[in-house]
Amino acid sequence: MTAETVRLSGVTKRYGKAEAVRDVSFALPAGQCAALVGHNGAGKTTLIKLMLGLIRPSAGGIRVLGEDPAAGAFAARRRLGYLPENVSFDAALTGRETLAFYARLKREPVAKVAALLDRVGLGAAAARRVGTYSKGMRQRLGLAQALLGEPRVLLLDEPTTGLDPEVRQSFYGIIEELRGRGATVLLSSHALTELEDRAERVVIMNRGVLVADGSLGELRRLARLPVRLRVTSGNGTFAGAPPDWLGPVEGWRRLDDGRAAEIACAGEAKMAVLRRLAEAGPGRVSDLDVVPPTLDELYAHFLRSQEAPAP
Amino acid sequence: MRNVLVAAAREVRAGLRNRWVLATTLLLAALALTLSFLGSAPTGTVGVGALDVVVVSLSSLTIFLVPLIALLISHDAIVGEMERGTMLLLLSYPVARWQVLLGKFLGHLAILAFATVLGYGAAAAALFATGAAAPAESWAAFAAMVGSSVLLGAVFVALGYLVSALARDRGTAAGVSIGLWLLLVLIYDMALLGLLVLDQGRIIGGGALDALLLLNPTDVYRLFNLTGFANVSLFSGMAGLSASATLSPPLLLAALAAWVLVPLAAAAAAFSRREL
């Protein structure tokens, strides 16, 4: 088993003069859940289409499960699951027929279809025409077809749009299970807060260029974004400026009429500030929350740093 | 090959579910029955030769209707699936684009063949039931008419795919298909007739006329059915033409087959180059 399932090296894709993706390189190992983040038009969908071999790169190379996906060999595609953004199906066929059709194309036993439909919660609706399905149900059918054939690589484009929270939980449950069995999962999404606890790896795209790639922890260190500490005053007031006992901090903001405050400090200074807060005693500080920079903030930071000229 | 059959089976199933098959079969059967009973009237008697008249009237019906039906089911095949987003998912599967196209073709052809054979067969069965005995040669002409009608349908399914593979959106594909139907079914013959009248045989000789007729699949179909069998050409008013015809039935069939294969190959080429 190769440790690496997907590798992009120096991939560029041009449509006419417009560059959809420019010089993107990254590799995904087996058993990793990675998030592909970027706003609309950042090149996420283009990257996924390139990995599927639906379009050919203008420059650079792509290997998926050891094959060039656009070469026309289909061995890798049988072990690949794809859920497109806004998935749609032939409205005239039933859920079961639709899934059976895709199973046949993947050379999977059609008998597995019923179990798969049950797994995504469509068992009761299997005999209904897809045209009568709600958006969430179509999305679940889309997920079911992506799961056909025990995929080694799952490419999911905006997978949770239109799913209600309960289905969303079961969806991430299924993803986690596949990942545990060694599948590579690449999620592209806008819902960053949702990806935060799921993705071990984040790839940030902006205007076709890869701007950041790493685990959330690595990105936090790279971004050097301040950590925020939310403290509640023990005696009921944090009046005016930061108190002297706190020492130097990057930011200080009064909250809740002075009953609480938000302190911003650099990641390296965090422990020193925490120690001082602890030593300040219950009279001064009665409660404390540490808020690390969110994925949203990291994303915004990396976009800003790319817009600004390199230092 | 298995992928082609899987894709064809899906197309047939969707056609059955959409009532496409039902509607086409009923339409063809109703028109065929009407024509075969009204069409016998001009001969005065119903009896010997009735089947030959039916062949003439049904082949005229086919020229108008079958291309229209074929274009209706085929013009949407590629561009429609792309717009609805189903093509993107389908092509991410281990299936080649030509397999998708060929599968659709076989599926659509099966639908058309089913409707034609059943619809026209109903007319033949009705004639047979009313006791109109016909010589074996007339039955042969009838069978050839049904078979070539399916072939004509295949021509227009292939042409519809070519339009669908090249068109930017579904509206364009529909418009171009209607234009194509008007051109090949109505305008071409009128223009050709006008040209011949104007020319008075000075420039356009027999060879050039044959070539011009081969350039339109509906004319090839017409020639095949109306001049191919002596007993039929008598009723079609083309006995004179058939006597001087230099285009033999096998050649005409080959021309129809070429009219299927060339557009289909062009559609496959256009489809494989298309960016998703």
Measured between alpha carbons, how far is B49 from B54 in angstroms, rounded to an integer? 9
Using a CB-CB cut-off of 8 Å, the residues of chain B touching A15 are 275
A53 in the same domain as A155: yes
Q: Does A222 touch chain B (CB under 8 A)?
A: no
**Per-residue pLDDT, A231:** 85
Structural domain total, chain A: 2
Strand ranges (DSSP E) for B58-136? none
Q: Residue A302: inside a domain, yes or no?
A: no
Q: Does A105 touch chain B (CB under 8 A)?
A: yes
Q: How confident is the model at residue A308 (pLDDT cuts 50, 70, 90)?
A: low
Q: Model-level pTM?
A: 0.84
Q: pLDDT tens track of chain B, all 276 residues?
A: 888 999 999 889 888 888 888 998 999 899 888 877 775 555 555 444 577 778 888 888 889 999 999 999 999 999 999 998 899 999 999 998 999 999 999 999 999 999 999 998 888 888 778 766 677 788 888 889 999 999 999 999 999 999 999 999 999 999 999 999 999 999 998 898 888 888 887 777 777 888 888 899 999 998 888 877 766 666 666 555 555 556 788 889 999 999 999 999 999 999 988 877
A309 pLDDT above the threshold of 60: no
B92:A82 CB<8 A: yes
Name the residue in chain A with its Cα closest to that of B4.
A105
Out of A197, A221, A245, a domain closes at A221
Out of A221, A251, A270, a domain closes at A221
**Per-residue pLDDT, B242:** 53
Name the residue in chain B with its Cα closest to that of A84.
B89
Q: Residue A179: inside a domain, yes or no?
A: yes
The boundaries of the domain holding residue A256 are 226-292
ipTM over 0.85: no
A99 in the same domain as A18: yes
Q: Identify the CATH number of the domain in which residue A12 sits.
A: 3.40.50.300
Average pLDDT of span A194-208 = 83
Average pLDDT of span A188-198 = 76
A49 in the same domain as A67: yes
Q: Identify the CATH number of the domain in which residue A247 sits.
A: 3.30.70
**Per-residue pLDDT, B46:** 47
A258 in the same domain as A183: no
A91 in the same domain as A72: yes
Write the CB contacts of B119 (distance below 8 Å, at least 6 apart in sequence).
B24, B25, B26, B27, B28, B29, B31, B32
A187 in the same domain as A283: no
Which residues is A59 bridged to in the sheet?
A12
Tell me the per-residue pLDDT of A95-115, one tens digit each, with 9 for 90 and over.
999 999 999 999 889 888 999
A70 in the same domain as A136: yes
A246 in the same domain as A160: no
Q: Does A79 touch chain B (CB under 8 A)?
A: no
Q: Does A106 touch chain B (CB under 8 A)?
A: yes
A237 in the same domain as A124: no
Which of the pair, B238 or A226, is modelled with greater confidence?
A226
Which candidate, B70, B37, B55, places its Cα nearest to that of B151?
Answer: B70
A265 in the same domain as A183: no
A215 in the same domain as A262: no
A15:B13 CB<8 A: no
Measured between alpha carbons, how far is A192 from A32 in angstroms, rounded to an integer? 17
Q: Residue A89: inside a domain, yes or no?
A: yes
Which of the pair, A245 or B147, is modelled with greater confidence?
B147
Q: Does B19 touch chain A (CB under 8 A)?
A: no
Q: Residue A310: inside a domain, yes or no?
A: no
B18:A92 CB<8 A: yes
A200 in the same domain as A78: yes
Out of A189, A221, A253, a domain closes at A221
Q: How far is CA A283 from CA A239, A240, A252, in A?
A: 14, 17, 19
Q: Residue A304: inside a domain, yes or no?
A: no
A129:B89 CB<8 A: no
Q: Considering only the beta carbons, identify the residue of B10, B84, B85 that sits closest to A101.
A: B10
Q: How confident is the model at residue A1 (pLDDT cuts 50, 70, 90)?
A: very low
Domain ranges across chain B: 2-273
Q: Residue A40: inside a domain, yes or no?
A: yes
Q: Residue A281: inside a domain, yes or no?
A: yes
**Per-residue pLDDT, B110:** 94
Tell me the per-residue pLDDT of A46-78, one tens digit each, with 9 for 90 and over.
999 999 888 889 988 898 888 888 877 778 888
Q: Residue A301: inside a domain, yes or no?
A: no
Name the residue in chain B with its Cα closest to that of A151.
B93
